[in-house]
Amino acid sequence: MTQQPQLNRSKLPLSGRIVMFFIRHIQHAMASMGELWRNPLSSLMTMAVLGVSLSLPAALQVLVKNAETVTASWNSAAEISLFINEGRSERTIQSLITRIETYPEVSDVNYINRDQALEEFQSLSGFGEALAYLDENPLPAVVTVTPSLKYSSPAGARQLLGKLEQEAEVSFGRLDIEWLERLQAVVKLLERTVLAIAALLVLAVVLVIGNTIRLAIMNRRTEIEVMKLVGATEAFIQRPFLYTGIWYGVIGGILAWMIINLLVWYLDGALAELLGLYGSQLQMQALTFTELGQLVALASFLGWLGSYLSVRQHLRAIEPS
Amino acid sequence: MIRFEQVSKVYPGGQKALSDVSFHLQRGEMAFLTGHSGAGKSTLLKLITVIERANAGRVSINGHDIAKIKRSDVPFLRRDIGMIFQNHHLLMDRSVFDNVALPLVIEGFSHNEIKKRVLASLDMVGLYGKERHNPIMLSGGEQQRVGIARAIVNKPPLLLADEPTGNLDPKLSMDILRLFETFNDAGTTVLIATHDLGLIARMKYRTLTLKQGRVLGGEELSSHVNVPAQ
């Protein structure tokens, strides 16, 4: 016996094997679902844990998303004020404005002449009476420039300001972006925190599913032994466990989505009131159906990963004896 | 079908289970494996089913050198071996039908094919009509026959039985042995491990006797084995 004959891997023809492969997958997926259905209490507990664990990163995602829309609307409010040198004629100022309007970085230009500036100052400052005593209008003419969207970031706006200050008519420019920079730093910090917490919770999800699957494997130890004895491959034995993990993820993801939308609904009233005080019309955004899809896809992947890691570790250890 | 060449097996604890065992069971043969408990019967069966691997020597099953079989290929080798256990190894929370169907489900047969084969197999062991029962509702002898039905349902060329008559009375034991004879007549190679010497004495098959891990007279006995024409 020098030559090793090939092991007969299957008694079925290829076409039959391919068809049965899919049928088995569907059967296993359904059977795993049925298994969860039969033990609703214990599986519901696991799913609830997953739902809560997933809802936290998802809630943070909602927070970041809403913070972004808020800061985006503030970003576009960034304005550059250019104070014009004294003694320039209306004509030179008008030509300056036309010049600035052609800048690609600029989306809008407004001109406030000296008289308008005085009027505005009188009505807003409350020093109206005192100003009347002055012989001459002390205020300079102001050109306000709104940068285009691309240049509305602090760095971009600052760059634009430098360019505008090169103009001969401009005495100096002012850009109030310090608060914007601080806000962006806070948002960045928030995003980082969200990412770190999300990573930890995602790890928790994988571990919870891994442990649940480990218990399921232990519970079915004899069955696994028998299956190995009658010639089941490891792929065959692990499949139902992998599907169980995926189902856990799917349902946990849907639960998380529901939790988030409840949370948003609960917070929306309070937030509207707060934003109303700041004169903002923003509405809190919940998770869309696309995001539900993404959440469920991520959760089912995590479910698969958790059960795969568990199955790899524990299924091999079970051997018939 | 089964060939052992100077096979030795020592368990990790240092316990010597088999030493220098050689024998050859031919295709279509039926034989008994006897010996006291602890003589190495179970170890020998475990080597055949690749639950354990030999430390020395060579084991070939159905022309495959076990030592060369990869871990991932072991299931495919086991599909060619019908195994019957003393404690049945049935799944108590599944119906008789599901228990017997297991090897076919694993191999990916279609539902109709599974049904046909399972019922035929149950009919052969005399359990037709009990496929919806749970094994727990059956007697010991009936459970044993469920195990046999499962072992033969995918028509393996080799049948191994570990104390198949262990807990049964002589009448039932004889019935079970007759059943094995019919499989053997159909061309299946059968190896039965048992310590029931009375049973063996009444049948004229070759006997391999293990004593302290060695085969007694294994080769001489093979001269008067009845080997069916191949």
Q: Is the pLDDT reported for residue B47 higher than 80?
A: yes
Torsion sign across C-alpha atoms A27, A31, A33, A37: positive
pLDDT of residue A1: 40
**Mean pLDDT to the nearest integer, A25-36:** 81
* A8 falls within a domain: no
The model carries a pTM of 0.73
| CA B115/CA B121 separation, integer angstroms | 10
Contact of A122 with A131, CB cutoff 8 Å = yes
Q: Could you tell me the two tokens for B3?
A: 């060939």
* B70/chain A closest Cα distance in angstroms: 11
B residues 125-184 lying closer than 8 A (beta carbon) to A: 150, 154
Question: Which among A124-133, A154-163, B102-111 has the top mean pLDDT?
Answer: B102-111
**Mean pLDDT to the nearest integer, A242-263:** 90
A150 and A206 inside one domain: no
| CA B49/CA B74 separation, integer angstroms | 8
Strand order in the sheet with A170-175: A106-112, A142-147, A80-84, A170-175
**Mean pLDDT to the nearest integer, A142-149:** 82
A198 and A294 inside one domain: yes
Q: Which residues lie below 8 Å from residue B132, measured CB to CB, with a gap of 6+?
A: B95, B96, B97
Q: Report residue B230's pLDDT band, with 50, 70 and 90 as the boundaries.
A: very low
Chain A residues with beta carbon closer than 8 angstroms to that of B83? 229-230
B187 shares contact with chain A (CB less than 8 Å): no
Range of the domain at B206: 28-36+71-224
Please provide residue B214's backbone torsions phi and psi, each rounded to the nearest 5 degrees: -120, 150
Q: From the candidates B11, B49, B106, B148, which should be mutated to test the interface with A, based on the most A CB atoms within 10 A?
A: B106
> pLDDT tens digits for A178-209?
777 777 788 788 888 888 888 898 899 999 99
* B192 falls within a domain: yes
* B230 falls within a domain: no
Q: Report residue B31's pLDDT band, with 50, 70 and 90 as the boundaries.
A: very high
Q: Which of B108, B89, B186 is nearest to B147 (CA)?
A: B89
**Which residue, A176, A208, A233, sits at the end of a domain?**
A176
Q: Report residue B82's pLDDT band, with 50, 70 and 90 as the boundaries.
A: very high
Q: Is the pLDDT reported for residue B22 higher than 50?
A: yes
Q: Report residue A3's pLDDT band, with 50, 70 and 90 as the boundaries.
A: very low
* B106/chain A closest Cα distance in angstroms: 6
* B207 falls within a domain: yes
List Cα–Cα distances, A267 to A58, A71, A288, in angstroms: 15, 19, 17
Q: Report residue B151's pLDDT band, with 50, 70 and 90 as the boundaries.
A: very high
**B217 vs A60, residue with greater confidence:** A60
> pLDDT tens digits for A259-304?
988 888 888 777 777 777 766 666 667 777 888 898 899 999 999 9
**B78 vs A170, residue with greater confidence:** B78
**Domain harbouring B182, CATH code:** 3.40.50.300
Report the phi/psi class of residue B206: left, alpha or beta, with left for phi > 0 and alpha for psi in -120 to 50: beta
Q: Is the pLDDT reported for residue B225 higher than 70?
A: no
Q: Could you tell me the two tokens for A219?
A: 């519970």
B75 shares contact with chain A (CB less than 8 Å): yes
- Which of A7, A11, A321 has its CB closest to that of B77? A7
Q: Could you tell me the two tokens for A32?
A: 């795993």
pLDDT of residue A128: 67
| CA A255/CA A252 separation, integer angstroms | 5
Chain A residues with beta carbon closer than 8 angstroms to that of B1? none
A268 and A191 inside one domain: yes
* B191 falls within a domain: yes
B110 shares contact with chain A (CB less than 8 Å): yes
pLDDT of residue A2: 42
Report the phi/psi class of residue B57: left, alpha or beta, with left for phi > 0 and alpha for psi in -120 to 50: left
A258 and A210 inside one domain: yes
CB contact under 8 A, B108 and A12: yes
A290 and A188 inside one domain: yes
**Mean pLDDT to the nearest integer, A106-129:** 79
Percent of chain B residues past pLDDT 70, beyond the cut: 94
Q: Could you tell me the two tokens for B77?
A: 């080798």
Q: From the candidates B102, B112, B118, B153, which should be mutated to test the interface with A, based on the most A CB atoms within 10 A?
A: B102
Q: Which residues lie below 8 Å from residue A39, measured CB to CB, with a gap of 6+?
A: none
* A53/chain B closest Cα distance in angstroms: 34
Q: Could you tell me the two tokens for A252?
A: 């946990």
Chain B residues with beta carbon closer than 8 angstroms to that of A11? 107, 154
* A209 falls within a domain: yes
Cβ burial, residue B41 (10 Å; 0-12/13-18/19+): buried
A196 and A287 inside one domain: yes
Q: Which of A103, A102, A104, A109 is nearest to A81 (CA)?
A: A109
CB contact under 8 A, A229 and B60: no
* Pair type for strands B16-25 and B2-10: antiparallel
**Mean pLDDT to the nearest integer, A49-59:** 87
* A296 falls within a domain: yes
Q: Which of A80, A83, A161, A88 is nearest to A117 (CA)?
A: A83
| CA B206/CA B225 separation, integer angstroms | 5
pLDDT of residue B226: 43
* B19 falls within a domain: no
* B57 falls within a domain: no
A239 and A104 inside one domain: no
pLDDT of residue A180: 72
pLDDT of residue A76: 52
* A13 falls within a domain: no
* A18 falls within a domain: no
| CA A244/CA A29 separation, integer angstroms | 8
Range of the domain at A161: 79-176
**Domain harbouring A148, CATH code:** 3.30.70.3040
Report the phi/psi class of residue A277: left, alpha or beta, with left for phi > 0 and alpha for psi in -120 to 50: alpha
Residue with tokens 């871990």: B71
Chain B residues with beta carbon closer than 8 angstroms to that of A24? 108
A99 and A135 inside one domain: yes
pLDDT of residue A36: 79
- Which of B64, B102, B110 has its CB closest to that of A230? B102
**Mean pLDDT to the nearest integer, B45-68:** 89
Q: Report residue A73's pLDDT band, with 50, 70 and 90 as the boundaries.
A: low
**Mean pLDDT to the nearest integer, A159-163:** 83
> pLDDT tens digits for B191-224?
999 888 887 887 888 888 888 878 876 554 443 4
A29 and A97 inside one domain: no
List Cα–Cα distances, B117 to B40, B111, B150, in angstroms: 35, 10, 10
Q: What is the mean pLDDT of chain B?
A: 86
Domain count, chain A: 2
pLDDT of residue B121: 93
Q: Is the pLDDT reported for residue A311 higher than 60?
A: yes
A196 and A309 inside one domain: yes
* A15 falls within a domain: no
Closest-approach residue (CA) in chain B for A14 = B108
Q: Say what the ipTM of the complex is.
A: 0.85
* B165 falls within a domain: yes
Strands (E), chain B: 2-10, 16-25, 30-34, 56-61, 64-65, 81-84, 158-162, 189-193, 206-211, 214-216
| CA A117/CA A90 separation, integer angstroms | 14
> pLDDT tens digits for B91-141?
988 899 999 999 998 888 888 999 999 999 999 888 988 989 999 999 888
* A2 falls within a domain: no
Q: Could you tell me the two tokens for A136?
A: 């001459």
Q: How many CB pairs under 8 A join A and B?
A: 78
* A110 falls within a domain: yes
Domain count, chain B: 1
pLDDT of residue B13: 86
- DSSP, collapsed to helix, strand or coil, labels residue B136 as helix
